[in-house]
Amino acid sequence: MRYSTLCYVLFLILFDAFLVESGAAGGEKDGVYIVYMGAATEHGSSKNEHAQLLSSVLKRRKNALVHSYEHGISGFAARLSAAEAKSIAKNPGVVSVFPDPVYQLHTTRSWDFLKYGTDVKIDLSPNSDSNLSSRGNDVIIGILDTGIWPESKSFSDKDMDPIPSSWNGTCVKAQDFNSSNCNRKIIGARSYNGPEDDDDEIVNTPRDMNGHGTHVASTAAGIMVPGASYHGLASGTAKGGSPGSRIAVYRICTPYGCAGSSILAAFSDAIIDGVDILSLSLGSPASRFSDFKEDPIAIGAFHAVENGITVVCSAGNEGPSEKTVSNDAPWILTVAATTIDRRFKSNVVFDKNKVIKGEAINFANIGKSPVHPLIYAKSAKKAGADERDARNCYPDSMDGKKIKGKIVICDNDEDINSYYKMDEVRTLGAIGAVLVDDKKRGDASEFDEFPMTSISSRDAVEIFAYLNSTKNPVATILPTTVVSQYKPAPTVSYFSSRGPSSISRNILKPDIAAPGSNILAAWTAYNGEAATDKTKNIPKFKIMSGTSMACPHVSGLAAEIKSRYPSWSPSAIKSAIMTTASQINNMKGPLTAELGAIATAYDYGAGEISTNRASQPGLVYETTAIDYLNFLCYHGYNKSTIKVISKKVPAGFACPKESKADLISNINYPSIAVFNLTGKHSRSITRTLTNVAGGGETTYSVTIEAPTGLTVTVSPTRLQFTKNGQRLSYHIIFTPTVSSLQKDMFGSITWTNKKFNVRAPFVVGGR
Ligand SMILES: *[C@@H]1O[C@H](CO)[C@@H](O)[C@H](O)[C@H]1NC(C)=O
Ligand SMILES: *[C@@H]1O[C@H](CO)[C@@H](O)[C@H](O)[C@H]1NC(C)=O
Ligand SMILES: *[C@@H]1O[C@H](CO)[C@@H](O)[C@H](O)[C@H]1NC(C)=O
Ligand SMILES: *[C@@H]1O[C@H](CO)[C@@H](O)[C@H](O)[C@H]1NC(C)=O
Ligand SMILES: *[C@@H]1O[C@H](CO)[C@@H](O)[C@H](O)[C@H]1NC(C)=O
Ligand SMILES: *[C@@H]1O[C@H](CO)[C@@H](O)[C@H](O)[C@H]1NC(C)=O
């Protein structure tokens, strides 16, 4: 590796987001606690008030306060003992007190592919504006991440207008960072401490010493940079989703993860700074939180949305198991990842020039001729080691003498990061490695200068037969080349976290999918020791995979829509992105998961984003403040708690009499999830559409796609809009035709006039 140890550690964390889950998961110990006190008052909550509450509990100790949240959110973070935390929780006005959780980053020719690859049906109506990216000048995207590398060409402010007058943020002065690092593109930068760690001093600066934040920011709003490539691979023009938008940096992640207390501080600052969109490519395993009021991302996002900010988050990389989606609160736009039509090929040549397809990124060159001895790791098992460990190239399971100077074939059926395997075989003196792995090939692992590649188990049979048939097997691994227009694409990335939501099955999650495998974007030039832009061999652009990479594609698209319709609410923007999504791949077939099964809404939500159509949805499902309050009621919060949490509770508001989870299906969301359908009892759901297509009378008619075993009726079947902004409702009745629904079933409801298709996916299930 060319990177320092620190960088390498980061690298491992990036590719294995959930390997490290530290933080006070158990809860009953001393440390930083977050005290959440609901919505801030209009003029900001007072730091004094927080200090008073704190000192009422802490009689003697000073410096206990870590953050005070005053804008949008009210509350604070402080160093407390478990007993002190309990005592604070008893105060009126305190919604929740919980140990500071630690989140991890969600990482493991994207825009052009979207524009030309998947949009099988391109909107050619006269109003259509396919040059959206020239707009976006006054929209501000806040990025909560590892910081930024401001010298990257992606963040040049050439030709940009002056900073929008609405901007109220700041560009902090810190190590290797000052106001001259901000410009008309990067208009603000703030930095927060990471999770508490006594062993190591981490510099508190917006300068990105990791790369993730720079990658994500340039995907959302980087300008066009011709001639971008990763060491010559994937060369072309790099471009963000909204090249005209501004970037506000909130550095909240360090090598130890991203502290929830810092994330809340960043949300609070972003609300007063005046950002329009917030993009978070990080999260925690779905199982980590059982309630929104102990999840700082859900809390921060709630108050951001109340203040008109669209919040876009990655769904997580825990797929393809079900119920793994994180960041699943209904006010968040939750993004799954898909593959694109570009793959990285590194083939294996063996015997007398037989070739097997391999996928990976490596820059090694050990020759085109199969002259290197080949061995299956199982045959190199060390005395006393477990056979499964050995064939998986697990550390400390192989005999170095047997693999030295050879290419080693490793299985990959154990859940261990392939970078550990690479380290192990390389340290033992192997000259290359071949991973047998069906799952992660589309997410081309990057092995730098070590010749390593991944092959499918089907292709592996041939190579194993060859190994059996000869005494002195030989092979070589070819350096990576790029395959474009790969079919099928997109597919749902193997790693992408799947629905249903573990907190509320009556909200369909994830919401949407966007490119997240093998994404090329800007990178840090930090070389492990110094902040420098001159170090040789550090690439200016890098290929990364993860829902981390998918999230900023959607943030960029949301910014484009916001720039076109500045008055649209976060939920209108979300609806526009969801109802115009595509479910078709570049072979005109249904979108599938990476391994070939037809994808469902639990894989991709409404589908793959359509950058062309999303700016003209025709109709939108607006989720109102009251919808969110009702959601909290149905979710089990009482009126007094809700009044503290939200500043938008109207006088006389009361939770509906029968507030049960089933009713969540009725909040006006752009997708529908209905459960508890048992026997042949039917369930009626209501949705309301708002006309945003402009004036003029227009009539939409409905098309229902229903699975067998379910009758779906919609009334009325036609909706006649006579003016812009008009809202019309319809009812849907779901009736099972079988006595028990064995598994969740999927379908959709699409409203169509001559110009627009407004599609809402649904899922229906039994208990
Ligand atoms: C979009 O841009 C291209 C090239 O810059 C231009 O030829 C075309 O007319 C533009 N289209 C619209 C709808 O503005
Ligand atoms: C700008 O930010 C400051 C705090 O930094 C705040 O007091 C002020 O109210 C903000 N102004 C606006 C217009 O939001
Ligand atoms: C910012 O830092 C650079 C490089 O260290 C220095 O040249 C410049 O004078 C600084 N600018 C300000 C405004 O402090
Ligand atoms: C190779 O030989 C081993 C036993 O020596 C056997 O288990 C395996 O199935 C053989 N593989 C192939 C592909 O023939
Ligand atoms: C509302 O819920 C909170 C938290 O569960 C509880 O402490 C409080 O007593 C409840 N209030 C009422 C009026 O039921
Ligand atoms: C399903 O229905 C049962 C019985 O009506 C109810 O107790 C339960 O809370 C419902 N579950 C959900 C998730 O709504």
What type of residue sits at position 75? G
pLDDT of residue 130: 40
Question: Atom of ligand 3 at shortest distance to CA of 176?
Answer: 5
Residue 465 sits in the same domain as residue 579: no
CA distance 436 to 434: 7
The C-alpha atoms of residue 279 and residue 674 are separated, in whole angstroms, by 29
Residue of the nearest CA to atom 1 in ligand 1?
A: 131
- For residue 637, report the distance from its CA to the centre of ligand 5, in Å: 8
Q: What is the pLDDT of residues 681-722, one digit of tens each?
A: 899 999 999 999 987 899 999 999 999 999 999 999 999 999
Pair type for strands 372-376 and 672-674? unpaired
Q: Is 143 helix (H, G, I), strand (E, B) or coil?
A: strand
Closest among 637, 592, 719 to 291, alpha carbons compared: 637
Could you give the CA distance from residue 278 to residue 746 in angstroms, rounded to a whole number?
Answer: 30
Does 3 map to a domain?
no
| Residues facing 350 on adjacent strands | 354, 475
Predicted pLDDT of residue 9: 36
- Boundary of a domain, candidates 100, 119, 154: 100
Q: Would you say the CB of residue 683 lies under 6 angstroms from ligand 6?
A: no
Mutate to test the pocket of ligand 2, among 45, 68, 71, 168 (most ligand atoms within 8 A of CB): 168
**129 Cα nearest atom in ligand 1:** 13
Mapped onto helix, strand or coil, the DSSP state of residue 132 is helix
476 and 501 both lie in a single domain: no
Does residue 503 share a domain with residue 467? no
Query: What 8-state DSSP symbol labels residue 398?
Result: B
Residue pair 737/759 in contact by the 8 Å Cβ criterion: no
Task: Assess if residue 579 is contained within a domain.
Answer: yes
CATH number at residue 36: 3.30.70.80
Asked if residue 676 has its Cβ within 6 Å of ligand 6, the reply is yes
Ligand 4 neighbour 470 (Cβ under 6 A): no
Q: What is the mean pLDDT of the chain?
A: 88
Rounded to the nearest angstrom, the distance between the alpha carbon of 15 and the centre of ligand 5 is 42
The average pLDDT across 286-298 equals: 90
Nearest CA to ligand 3 atom 9: 180
Nearest listed ligand to the Cα of residue 468: 4
CA-CA distances (angstroms) from residue 231 to 223, 478, 629, 745? 20, 16, 51, 46
* Per-residue pLDDT reduced to its tens digit, 103-121: 999 876 444 454 443 332 2
Ligand nearest to the CA of 376: 4
Distance 471 CA to ligand 4 centre (A): 14
SS3 category, 350 = strand
Return the residue whose CA atom lies nearest to atom 1 of ligand 5: 638
Q: Are residues 56 and 123 in the same domain?
A: no
- Nearest-atom index, ligand 4, CA of 467: 1
pLDDT at 102 over 60: yes
pLDDT bracket for residue 531 (50, 70, 90): low
The CATH number of the domain holding residue 308 is: 3.40.50.200
* 463 belongs to a structural domain: yes
- CB contact set of 458 (below 8 Å; sequence gap of 6+): none
- How crowded is residue 27: how many other Cβ atoms within 10 Å of its Cβ? 14
pLDDT of 738 strictly over 90: no
Percent of the chain with pLDDT over 70: 89
- Ligand 6 atom 2 nearest Cα: 676
- State the Cα–Cα distance between residues 106 and 219, nearest whole angstrom: 15
How many domains in the chain? 4
> Would you place residue 529 in the very low, low, confident or very high pLDDT band (cuts 50, 70, 90)?
low
Element of type H or E holding 560 = helix 547-564
Is 735's pLDDT higher than 70? Answer: yes
Q: Is the shortest distance between the CB of 179 and ligand 3 below 6 Å?
A: yes
Q: Is residue 186 part of a domain?
A: yes
**Residue 676 CA: which ligand 6 atom is closest?**
1
Q: Ligand 2 test: best mutation among 46, 68, 272, 309, most atoms within 8 Å of CB? A: 272
Ligand 5 pocket test, candidate residues 90, 96, 641, 645, most atoms within 8 A of CB: 641
Nearest-CA residue for ligand 1 atom 6 is: 131
Query: For the chain, what percent of residues have pLDDT higher than 90?
Result: 69
Query: How far is residue 227 from each of residues 478, 486, 767, measured CA to CA in Å?
Result: 25, 22, 54
Q: What is the per-residue pLDDT for 229? A: 85
> What is the per-residue pLDDT across 571-589, written as a single tens digit (0 to 9) for each?
999 999 999 999 999 999 9
Verify that 243 and 218 share a domain, yes or no.
yes
Same structural domain, 293 and 193:
yes
Backbone conformation region of residue 257, classed left if phi is above 0, alpha if psi is from -120 to 50, else beta:
left
pLDDT of 119:
32
- Which residue's CA lies nearest to atom 4 of ligand 4? 468
> Can you give the pTM of this predicted structure?
0.90
Residue 25 in contact with ligand 4 by CB distance below 6 A: no
Looking at the CA of residue 173, tell me the nearest atom of ligand 3.
Answer: 14
- Residue range 609-648, pLDDT digits in tens: 999 899 999 999 999 999 999 999 999 999 999 999 998 8
String of DSSP letters for 153-221: GGG--TTPPPPPTT----B--BTTB-GGG--SSEEEEEE---S--SS------SB-SSSHHHHHHHHHH
Ligand 1 contact, 131 CB (< 6 A): yes
Tell me, letter by letter, the H, E, C secondary structure of 254-305: ECCEEEHHHHHHHHHHHHHHCCCEEEECEECCHHHCCCHHHCHHHHHHHHHH
Ligand 3 centroid – CA 461 distance (Å): 60
Is any atom of ligand 1 closer than 6 Å to the C-beta of 134? no
Sign of CA dihedral 37, 42, 46, 49: negative
pLDDT in tens, 66-79: 999 999 999 999 99
Per the domain annotation, does 640 fall within a domain?
A: no
Question: Does 409 map to a domain?
Answer: yes
Nearest CA to ligand 6 atom 4: 676
Question: What span, in angstroms and rounded, lies between the C-alpha atoms of 416 and 395?
Answer: 10
**How many A from CA of 177 to the centre of ligand 3?**
8
Query: Does residue 396 sit in the same domain as residue 410?
Result: yes
Q: With 90 as the cut, is the pLDDT of residue 379 above it?
A: yes
Bridge partners, residue 763, by sequence: 673, 746
Mutate to test the pocket of ligand 1, among 131, 564, 616 (most ligand atoms within 8 A of CB): 131
Would you say residue 417 has pLDDT above 80?
no
Q: Which of 185-189, 210-214, 520-524 tops mean pLDDT?
A: 185-189
Phi, psi of 693 (to 5 degrees): -90, 0
How many of the other CB atoms lie within 10 Å of CB of 399? 15
Cα–Cα dist 575/668, whole Å:
10
* Per-residue confidence (pLDDT) for residue 536, from 0 to 100: 56
| CATH number of the domain within which 744 lies | 2.60.40.2310
Atom of ligand 1 nearest to the CA of 131: 1
Are 593 and 570 contained in the same domain?
A: yes
What does the alpha-carbon distance between residue 757 and residue 584 come to, in Å, rounded to a whole number? 15
Q: CB of 681 closer than 6 A to ligand 6?
A: no
Q: Are 301 and 73 in contact (CB under 8 A)?
A: no
Active site residues: 145, 212, 548
Full DSSP string of 695-749: SS-EEEEEEEE--TTEEEEEESSEEEE-STT-EEEEEEEEEESSSB--S-EEEEE
- Coarse DSSP helix, strand, coil percentages of the chain, rounded to the nearest 5 percent: 25, 30, 50
- AA letter at 305: V
CA of 168 to the centre of ligand 2 (A): 6
Q: What is the DSSP string of 333-355?
A: EEEEEE--S-EEE--EEETTTEE
Distance 228 CA to ligand 1 centre (A): 23
Among the listed residues 429, 435, 427, 421, the one whose alpha carbon sits nearest the alpha carbon of residue 376: 435
Distance set, CA 369 to CA 224, 352, 433, 658 (Å): 40, 9, 16, 73
Paired tokens of 1:
């590796």
374 assigned to some structural domain: yes
Q: How confident is the model at residue 134 (pLDDT cuts 50, 70, 90)?
A: very low
Structure tokens at 463: 């190579």
Question: How many whole angstroms separate alpha carbon 758 and alpha carbon 749?
Answer: 8
Average pLDDT over residues 724-740: 93
Rounded distance, CA 204 to CA 206, Å?
Answer: 7
pLDDT value of residue 375: 97
Q: Using an 8 Å Cβ cutoff, are 319 and 556 in contact?
A: no
Dig out the tokens for 26 from the structure. 């158990």
480: domain CATH number is: 3.50.30.30
Alpha-carbon gap, residue 231 to 226, rounded angstroms: 14
Return the number of other C-beta atoms located less than 10 Å from residue 463's C-beta.
22
Q: What is the pLDDT of residue 123?
A: 27
Q: In terms of domains, do 575 and 692 share one? A: no
Q: Specify the residue for token string 């930068």.
A: 189
pLDDT at 22: 36
Rounded distance, CA 245 to CA 277, Å?
10
Asked if pLDDT for residue 125 goes beyond 50, the answer is no
Cα of 676 to ligand 6 centre, how many Å?
A: 6
d(CA 759, CA 316): 25
Scan for tokens 């006393």, then name that residue.
384
What is the rounded CA–CA span in Å between residue 311 and residue 201?
A: 31
2 vs 300: which has the higher pLDDT: 300
Which residues' Cβ are closer than 6 Å to ligand 2?
Answer: 168, 272
Weakest mean pLDDT among 4-13, 211-220, 278-287, 507-516: 4-13
Pairwise CA distance, residues 49 & 71, whole Å: 14
Tell me, in angstroms, the distance from the centre of ligand 6 to residue 662's CA: 6
Q: Give, using CA atoms, the residue closest to atom 14 of ligand 4.
A: 465
Smallest-distance ligand from the CA of 460: 4
Residues 497 and 599 both lie in one domain: yes
Of the listed ligands, the closest to the CA of 664 is 6
> Within 13 Å, how many C-alpha atoms sit on residue 660's CB side?
5
More confident site: 417 or 620? 620
Sheet holding 65-69, edge to edge: 65-69, 73-80, 31-39, 96-99
Domain boundary among 49, 72, 100: 100
Average pLDDT over residues 56-72: 81
Of 513, 520, 580, nearest to 112 by C-alpha is 520
pLDDT value, residue 696: 83
Same domain, 299 and 403: no
Q: 473 CA to middle of ligand 4, Å?
A: 14
| Maximal C-alpha separation, the chain | 84
CA distance 252 to 264: 10
Which numbered ligand comes closest to the C-alpha of 501? 6
Task: Judge whether 530 lies within some domain.
Answer: yes
Last residue of a domain, one of 557, 589, 604: 604
Q: 442 CA distance to ligand 4 centroid (A)?
A: 28
The residue segments making up the domain with residue 734 are 668-767
Q: Are residues 305 and 382 in the same domain?
A: no
What is the whole-number distance in angstroms between the Cα of residue 612 and the centre of ligand 1? 14
Mean per-residue pLDDT, 726-745: 91
Which token pair is 412?
């990959």
Q: For residues 50 and 77, is the Cβ–Cβ distance under 8 A?
A: no
Model confidence at 203, pLDDT cuts 50, 70, 90, reads: confident
For the Cβ of 48 lying below 6 angstroms from any atom of ligand 1, the answer is: no
- SS3 label, residue 354: strand
